[in-house]
Structure 1
Amino acid sequence: MPFGRWARRAGRRAGVAAAGAAAAVCPIAAPLSSAAPKCPDIEVVFARGTDEPAGIGNVGKAFVDTLRPMVKGSTVDTYAVQYPASWDFMKAAAGATDMSKRIQATAARCPKTKIVMGGYSQGAAVVDVVATSPVAGLGYSAPLPAAVVPRVASVVVFGNPSARLGQPLTRMSPDFGARTADLCNTNDPICSLGQDWNAHITYPKSGLIKLAAQWVTRHVQPPPAPAARR
């Protein structure tokens, strides 16, 4: 074989070998996946009641399960407020801090998400702190900035201890009062002067869950477009 042809063939083989070695040393990087957050249309930030199971609790679950079919076409996510929900009621401040931090994080990360703040029993007291305390104190360390307040589309509380003292959240909070449904089951001794303790644990069976879901639906869905004039 003439030297020139042999040299060209050898050069091609060397080039292929070099390319293979380079690929082994420097593998082709896979395309990076998008790191954009997934933002729901609605996020329910809910604080469970005393001794309820971890998560959003039985009352919170009943509320969200009722809300979802009412807001057809909208995605609904939940966030369970992290706090003990124990008989040490001073720990409610820790729940308020966690709730406020979550609302602030969601507002920053998901500018189009409508936030719903909710709680049951001791969890309602957690909501009270967030909704009425513009400054830190007594274990509450993350007040909602004024700029974030409008991002909370609606508030629902069940069995709110403050209501028993004649201070429902609708009256206590100038910022959130008009957006709040403060609901008390008939004769519930936690939120009224009643004496029926069974009333405090039967919210999922009461009509108040549906009433709360209807209230929130009105606040998170855009109003219907006006009819065209003829």
Structure 2
Amino acid sequence: MVDNSSGISSDGALVGGAIVATIPAAPRPRVGAILLFGNPIRAIGRSVTGVCAGRTAGYCVHGDPVCGAGLDVPAHLSHGNKASEAAVFAASRF
């Protein structure tokens, strides 16, 4: 999971777990952007922090039960609708 790779535990989320591996320090500066879609840590009030926070953008569709407090399961499958917005963020990081 991307959260774990960036050093954030997703323990307690609908899906997720403890940190098992992180991005090694050497390549970390070369990571331009991290895009998170339907990220389960949002549902438990967490977000990416630390060295990756400014390079990270998260997207949750209204009604998504995984990243929000919704009950609309198909919403979790519609994050492709956020692709343009995510691409603009990623491009702005370079």
Q: Smaller-chain TM-score range?
A: 0.7 to 0.9
CA RMSD of aligned residues (A): 1.8
C-alpha distance in 2 between matches for 1:131 and 1:214? 21
Equivalent position to 1:201, from 64, 74, 77: 77
Structure 2 counterpart SS, 1:175: helix
TM-score by length of 1: 0.35
Structure 2 counterpart SS, 1:150: helix
Unaligned 5+ runs, structure 1: 1-125, 221-230
C-alpha distance in 1 between matches for 2:58 and 2:19? 24
Structure 1 counterpart SS, 2:93: helix
Give the superposition deviation at 1:150.
0.8
C-alpha distance in 2 between matches for 1:156 and 1:213? 9
Does the 8 Å contact 2:39/2:58 carry over to 1? yes
Give the superposition deviation at 1:175.
0.9
TM-score by length of 2: 0.80
2:90 paired with 1:216: yes
1:158–1:148 CA distance, 2 compared to 1 (3 A): same
- Cα deviation 1:133-191 (Å, max 9, x = unaligned): 6xxxx6835x323232111011001000101001022xxx2111111111100111100
Equivalent position to 2:54, from 159, 174, 178: 178
C-alpha distance in 2 between matches for 1:164 and 1:154? 22
Match of 1:88 in 2: none
Unaligned 5+ runs, structure 2: 9-17
2:6 paired with 1:127: no
Match of 1:140 in 2: 20
Give the superposition deviation at 1:130.
0.5
Higher RCO, 1 or 2 (CA under 8 Å, sep at least 6)? 2
Equivalent position to 1:165, from 29, 44, 48: 44
Q: Which runs of 4+ in 1 moved over 6 A?
A: none
Query: What one-letter code is carried by the residue in structure 1 that aligns with 2:44?
Result: L
1:139–1:191 CA distance, 2 compared to 1 (3 A): closer
C-alpha distance in 1 between matches for 2:19 and 2:42? 22
C-alpha distance in 2 between matches for 1:218 and 1:174? 20
Give the superposition deviation at 1:194.
1.1
How many pairs align?
Answer: 85
Structure with the largest fraction of strand? 1
C-alpha distance in 1 between matches for 2:20 and 2:55? 23
C-alpha distance in 2 between matches for 1:154 and 1:177? 10
Match of 2:33 in 1: 154
Identity among equivalent pairs (%): 31
Structure 1 counterpart SS, 2:84: helix
Structure with the largest fraction of helix? 1
C-alpha distance in 1 between matches for 2:64 and 2:47? 14
